[in-house]
């Protein structure tokens, strides 16, 4: 796990508790808190909260590249690579044309990770 300063972790936790943030920023704050969490249990809880917030953001705006990529990344970091591929395939159904190539490239990367694990 990457190590971060206590101040950065404290800031990420503070941001994740701010309910007045717009949903994408809430999701990002949870994701950052998960990344910076010094203990696995804290990180796992923050990833779960980030995942929930990103899913809600996608329900509100299915074509959001930021929410879709972040959700897929959150899932992949938890070892849920198949779910991450599904998230990105769902994004492709709603993706603006200029986002499709990048999404397909990310899907190929995720699928390669899955093949490497077998």
**pLDDT tens digits, one per residue of 88-98:** 999 999 998 99
Q: How confident is the model at residue 3 (pLDDT cuts 50, 70, 90)?
A: very low
Which of 28 and 100 is assigned the larger pLDDT? 100
Q: What is the pLDDT of residues 16-44, one digit of tens each?
A: 455 455 566 666 666 666 655 544 555 67
- Delineate the domains of the chain, giving CATH numbers in brackets: 6-117 (1.25.40.10)
**1 alpha-carbon distance from chain centroid:** 17
Report pLDDT digits (tens) over 37-53. Answer: 544 555 677 788 888 88
CB atoms within 10 A of CB 105: 11
Neighbour tally for 71: CB within 10 Å: 27
């Amino acid at each position: 796990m990457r190590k971060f300063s206590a101040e950065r972790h404290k800031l990420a936790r503070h941001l994740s508790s701010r309910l007045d943030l717009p949903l994408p920023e809430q999701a990002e704050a949870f994701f950052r808190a998960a990344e910076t969490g010094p203990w696995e249990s804290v990180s796992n809880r923050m990833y779960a909260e980030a995942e929930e917030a990103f899913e809600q953001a996608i329900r509100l705006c299915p074509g959001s590249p930021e929410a879709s990529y972040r959700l897929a990344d959150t899932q992949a970091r938890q070892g849920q690579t198949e779910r991450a591929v599904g998230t990105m395939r769902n994004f492709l159904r709603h993706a603006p044309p200029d986002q499709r190539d990048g999404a397909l490239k990310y899907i190929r990367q995720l699928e390669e990770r899955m093949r490497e694990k077998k």
